[in-house]
Structure 1
Amino acid sequence: MLEVVMQVIRPICTADLDSLVKVARASGHGFTSLPDDQLVLMQRIEDSVAAMALAADYHFGQQNQSYLFVLEDLASKQILGTSGITSAVGLNDAFYHYRISKVVHSSPTLGIYNPQEVLTLCNDYTGATEIGSLYLTDQARGSGLGIILSKFRFLFIAENRHRFNTRIFAEMRGVTDDNGHSPFWHWLEKHFFQLDFPTADYLTGIGKKSFIAELMPRFPIYICLLDKHARKAIGQVHPNTEPALAMLKREGFSYTGYVDIFDAGPTVEAELKQIACVKASQKLSVAICTRNNDESVPLKSALVCNTKVSEFRAAKIECWIDDIANRLMLTTKQAKALNVAQDDSVRILVIQS
C-alpha cells in the first residue's frame, strides 16, 4: 500500500511563532540557537523569511543569511521539529571556538620531553556555513523523522549551493547535567566569569556576546590545569546528541579539534561535495500518475525536495522511479504536499532499507 504523506518540511513563517516558542522552551539549556525569548525568536523568523525571499540567483557573499525550517504534521497542523542553516557565521559579530592544539616543553640537555594540549580561542570558522537548530519534539522521536529533518538541509544546500560556503559545520551539544550546568563551563565560571552556564548560554543566544571578548582568557589554556570533570567533558556530547553525531559521521563529517567555548562539545565539519547524501542525490523531473496497484512495480522510499526556496517543501515518501526516463512518479496528493506540478524538477535521495 502507498503511504500518504503525513509530514512535510517547509520554511518557517510568522504564524509559527507560538510553536517556535514551545520548541525553545522544550529544548532546554545548551540549545543556544533557539533561546526562550519571544522577541529574539520573532527576529529569527523574520530573518529567515527575508533570506527565503532573496532573488533565486542570489550568491553567497560577505553577508550572513539565516534559513529556518519546520517539520509540520499535515493532519494536525502541529509543528514537530525545527532545523536551520546559517550561510556564513561570524560576519555580523564574532564567532568563537576553542581550538585544541599541542605545545611541547623540552630540554634535550636534561632529557625532558613534555607535550601538552592547550585550548586557544579562535574565529577559524568565520564565513563557513553552519547547520543547526535541529530539534524534534518528544512525540515525534523514534519515528525516523530526525534523520529526515537533518538530511534535507544538505539537499537544500546542494540545490542552492551558490547561497552557501562549501565548508559545512555543526556544533554538537556538550555535556551538561539535569540542571543545565556544564562541568567545563563550571571551571571557566569559577576562574574568569562568575556567570553560570544557563545565563551565559542565554546571553549568547540573544546576541549579547561582548562578555566573551571582555572576560574570556586571552592566552591559551593548558588542559592539564583544568579539573578532571572539565577535562573529561572536552569533545564529548550530551547523551541526547549522540544519534545526531553518529548520523553526521556517516555523512562524512569529522571532528578536527574544535570545541564549543561554553560546554566544550565537539564541532564537526565536511566539504559539501564530500557529504554522502549530496553525492547520492539526483535530479529528476516529475510525472503525475495514478497508482495501478501493480505489486510487480517496486516502490522506493525516498527523501524528495522541490527546487524552490520560499515555497520549498521536503518529505519522505513512497514512490516509483522511471530510471530510463529520469522521472519521479508521484500521485496527485504527493505532488500537492511537495508543491510540485507535472515536469517540475525535484532533488531526490533514495533511502536504503
Structure 2
Amino acid sequence: MLVIRPIEQRDFPTLKQIAIESGHGFTSLPVNDELLQNKIDQSLASFASRPAGKGECLYFFVAEDSDTGEVLGTTALEAAVGLSSPFYTYLLGKQVHSSPRLGIYNVVDTLTLTNDFTGVSELCTLFLREQARKGLNGRLLSKCRFLFLAEFSELFDDRVMAEMRGVSDEQGKSPFWNWLQEHFFSMDFPTVDYLTGIGQKGFIADLMPKYPIYVNLLSKEARAVIGKPHDKTRPAVRLLEEEGFTCRGYVDIFDAGPSVECDLRQIRTVRNSRQLKVHVGEPVDSGTHLISNTRFDDFRALIGDLAVNEEKAQAVITEEVARLLKVEDGDTVRVVEMNR
C-alpha cells in the first residue's frame, strides 16, 4: 500500500533518481544536488514550524510503499509563488485590427508575458515512478494534496494553480521553444529548463520579448502545441479537470504547456471531504476512500477501505490503516469517497 508522508533527509538518494527519471520539461526537479537538497531543507523547515498564514513555504511529500519502504513518487504544494523571484506565464489574448472605412476587421491571437500568478498557491512536482503506475496510485498522489489544503486552508491562497508540462520530444526539443530560440535566445530547451529549475531566471527578463507576440507569426509547429500537455502529463491533467481545474488562457513561457487553476474552496475533494472520528475495527459495507490524518508535521494519507457510521460520525478503519495513518480510537481523520 502506498502511504503519503512529508519528505525526510533520508529520501535524498531516491529524490535524485526520480529527478533523473522525470526527464526534460520537469522543471521542479532539476538534476542538481544542491537544488534538490534545498527543496528538502525548505520542506523540513516548513513542516518544523507551522506558520501563522500564507508564506513562501514548500510542503513536499513522497509516496512510500508500506511493505518495502521504497519511495515511488513525489508531490508537493507551494504556498505562494513569485514573492521573492518572478513567476512568469504567457496569457493568450486577442488584438483587433479594424478599419471600417476599408471594411477590414481582423482578430489576432497574442501571447503576453505576465506575472499574474504572483502569490497564488501551486500544485507541483507530481511524479509517479514507472513501476507504480497502476491502480489508484496516480489518484492518491494527486488528490492527497487536496486533503492537506482542506485541513490547513489558512496556509494557502484562495486561488490554486498547476503548470502542466508542455510538448517536447525524447531529446528535450520543444516546438514552441525552437521558435523562441531562433528569434530571441541562443539556448536550447534543456538548458533553459535547467536554469529555470535551479532558480536562475534573470535571462527571462533580459531576453524574453517585452511586447505581445502575434501567434500567427509563430511557426506552424509552435502554434500547434500552444496549450497542449505532454503525452505523459495528460492523465494528471484529467485528474485536475475532475477536481474542477480549468485553463483560463495561461501557458508556460518555454513549452507553452497549459496552466490550470481553481478556487481552493471549489476543488471537488476539498469541498466533499469531511472530518470523522476514528473507530478501529472491521469495516462493514465499506467503500474505497481517500483518508488522511489531521496532523500538520506528521501528515499521512492513503487510499483504503472505510465504513462510515453516520449516527456516531465515525470512520471505521482496520488496524493496518490506523497504523499507517498513525491514528487510534477517538482521533480525527479527513475522508472523501473515491470514484474509480
The residue aligned with 2:53 is: 59
Tell me how far 1:331 sits from its aligned partner: 2.4
Tell me how far 1:166 sits from its aligned partner: 1.1
SS in 2 for 1:130: strand
Give the alignment partner of residue 300 of structure 2, picking from 310, 313, 329: 313
Please give the alpha-carbon distance, in whole angstroms, between the structure 1 residues aligned to 2:241 and 2:47: 29
Please give the alpha-carbon distance, in whole angstroms, between the structure 2 residues aligned to 1:208 and 1:345: 43
Please give the alpha-carbon distance, in whole angstroms, between the structure 1 residues aligned to 2:301 and 2:146: 12
Residues 203-282 of structure 1 mapped to structure 2, 5 A cutoff: 203-282=195-274
Tell me the amino acid that sits aligned with residue 337 of structure 2: V
The residue aligned with 2:290 is: 303
Tell me how far 1:14 sits from its aligned partner: 0.6
Residues 282-293 of structure 1 mapped to structure 2, 5 A cutoff: 282-289=274-281, 291=282
Equivalent pairs: percent with the same residue?
Answer: 47
Tell me how far 1:38 sits from its aligned partner: 1.1
1:116 aligns with 2:111: no
1:328 aligns with 2:315: yes
Please give the alpha-carbon distance, in whole angstroms, between the structure 1 residues aligned to 2:146 and 2:286: 24
Tell me how far 1:336 sits from its aligned partner: 1.2
Tell me how far 1:143 sits from its aligned partner: 2.2
Give the alignment partner of residue 13 of structure 1, picking from 8, 20, 25: 8
SS in 1 for 2:173: coil
Please give the alpha-carbon distance, in whole angstroms, between the structure 2 residues aligned to 1:105 and 1:48: 49
The residue aligned with 1:96 is: 88
Tell me how far 1:142 sits from its aligned partner: 2.3
The residue aligned with 2:29 is: 34
Show CA shifts across 1:247-294 (max 9, x none): 1111101110000000000001000111111111111011122x38xx
Please give the alpha-carbon distance, in whole angstroms, between the structure 1 residues aligned to 2:255 and 2:338: 34
Tell me how far 1:93 sits from its aligned partner: 0.2
Tell me the amino acid that sits aligned with residue 106 of structure 1: S
Please give the alpha-carbon distance, in whole angstroms, between the structure 2 residues aligned to 1:234 and 1:288: 50
The residue aligned with 1:346 is: 333
SS in 2 for 1:268: strand
Which TM-score applies when normalising by structure 2? Answer: 0.98
Show CA shifts across 1:294-332 (max 9, x none): xxx311111101111110000111122111101011222
Tell me how far 1:352 sits from its aligned partner: 3.1
Please give the alpha-carbon distance, in whole angstroms, between the structure 2 residues aligned to 1:142 and 1:300: 19
Tell me how far 1:144 sits from its aligned partner: 1.9
Aligned residues: 340
The residue aligned with 1:169 is: 161
Show CA shifts across 1:137-196 (max 9, x none): 000012220111101101101100010001000111100011111000000011111100
Please give the alpha-carbon distance, in whole angstroms, between the structure 1 residues aligned to 2:310 and 2:287: 12
Tell me the amino acid that sits aligned with residue 313 of structure 1: R
Which TM-score applies when normalising by structure 1? Answer: 0.95
Please give the alpha-carbon distance, in whole angstroms, between the structure 2 residues aligned to 1:319 and 1:233: 43
Tell me the amino acid that sits aligned with residue 14 of structure 1: Q
Q: Which 4+ residue blocks in structure 1 deviate beyond 6 angstroms?
A: none
The residue aligned with 1:180 is: 172
Please give the alpha-carbon distance, in whole angstroms, between the structure 2 residues aligned to 1:337 and 1:161: 24
Please give the alpha-carbon distance, in whole angstroms, between the structure 1 residues aligned to 2:37 and 2:199: 14
Please give the alpha-carbon distance, in whole angstroms, between the structure 2 residues aligned to 1:287 and 1:143: 27
The residue aligned with 1:159 is: 151
Task: Structure 2 unaligned segments of length 5 or more: list them.
Answer: none
Tell me the amino acid that sits aligned with residue 150 of structure 1: S
Please give the alpha-carbon distance, in whole angstroms, between the structure 2 residues aligned to 1:166 and 1:30: 27
Please give the alpha-carbon distance, in whole angstroms, between the structure 2 residues aligned to 1:188 and 1:257: 19
Tell me the amino acid that sits aligned with residue 336 of structure 2: L
Tell me the amino acid that sits aligned with residue 319 of structure 1: L
